[in-house]
Amino acid sequence: MSLMIFLFMCAENVLSLHIPNFCPHCGSDRIISKVPQGDERMRAVCKDCHTIHYENPKVVVACVVRDTELRYILGKRSIEPRIQTWGFPQGFMELNETTRDCAARETIEEIGIVIDPSKLSLLAIYNLPKQVQIVYEAKIDSQSAEKHAQSTKECSEINLFHIDNLPPENEIAFPTVIWALHHAHHRRDISHVQQRTKLYDGKTWKVITDDDIIENA
């Protein structure tokens, strides 16, 4: 490994570790980052009560909704981040719900469409910085899609798009939306699950690595 890459990885690790101001266990303000004994990674550790504050990736669940005319339903976000851009229903998974339930909840909340969690098909798993995104696919009939495609609390506008007529890339909320729509459109085998890792600089959306792996391709 080159020194440059090693230094970049160290900087990346230190930058990405969140150090709380105060220890949630004992209230001390003496939290440091160190590698605890028997561990191999930097952690936030309280110097007073020695509690290790682990930080792990969060689960985001998303849903690609397609109608019988092969149109995809996207919402124009009226909430941050990426307000006023087009996205699919997605959000952080809550305690006491399942990934399927989370997909169905986000779908009703964001684009007003009721879907049956048991009918969802697993579409993709995307690894992003500090986040694992699990994407499901739902199919609904065109009449339902048109009837329910109206604004919600979280989206000022809902619209149906053919794959070759999507909004311009800079008006799409996140790269994962584009990946998932194209994967949904092109997978022939319903059970072909895409797994992809892209790490990007959140400000410029520049892709810095791409070790795309197509499951069972």
Residues at the contact surface with a second copy, assessed by CB under 8 A: 12-13, 16-17, 20-27, 29, 41, 53-59, 92-96, 98-100, 118, 121-122, 125, 127, 129-130, 132, 134, 189-193, 195, 197, 211, 213, 215-216
Q: Rounded to the nearest whole angstrom, what is the least distance from the CB of residue 159 to a second copy in the complex?
A: 25
The distance of closest approach from Cβ of residue 30 to a second copy in the complex, given in angstroms and rounded to an integer, is 12
* Closer residue to a second copy in complex, CB, 124/145: 124
Residue 11 or 70: the one with the smaller Cβ distance to a second copy is 11
Cα–Cα distance, 109 to 142 (Å, whole number): 20
What's the min distance (Å) between Cβ of 53 and a second copy? 8
Pairing of strands 52-53, 58-67: unpaired
Position 120, amino acid: L
Q: How far is the CB of 213 from a second copy (least distance, A)?
A: 5
Query: Residue 64 to residues 21, 60, 73, 154, 201: CA-CA distances in angstroms?
Result: 39, 13, 8, 17, 24
In the bound state with a second copy, the residue whose beta carbon lies nearer, of 125 and 163, is 125
Which is closer to a second copy, CB of 81 or CB of 129? 129
Q: Is the distance from CB of 49 to CB of 27 less than 8 angstroms?
A: no
Start-to-end CA distance of the chain, whole Å, equals 30
Query: How many angstroms from the chain centroid is the CA of residue 200?
Result: 13
CB of 157 to a second copy, least distance (A): 21
CB of 98 to a second copy, least distance (A): 4
Q: What is the DSSP letter of 209?
A: E
3-state secondary structure of 175: helix
CB 126 within 8 A of CB 179: yes
Label residue 169 exposed, middle or buried (CB < 10 Å: 0-12, 13-18, 19+).
exposed
Q: Which residue's CB is nearer to a second copy, number 85 or number 127?
A: 127
Select 61 or 111, whichever has its Cβ closest to a second copy: 61
Is the alpha carbon torsion for 20, 22, 27, 30 positive or negative? positive
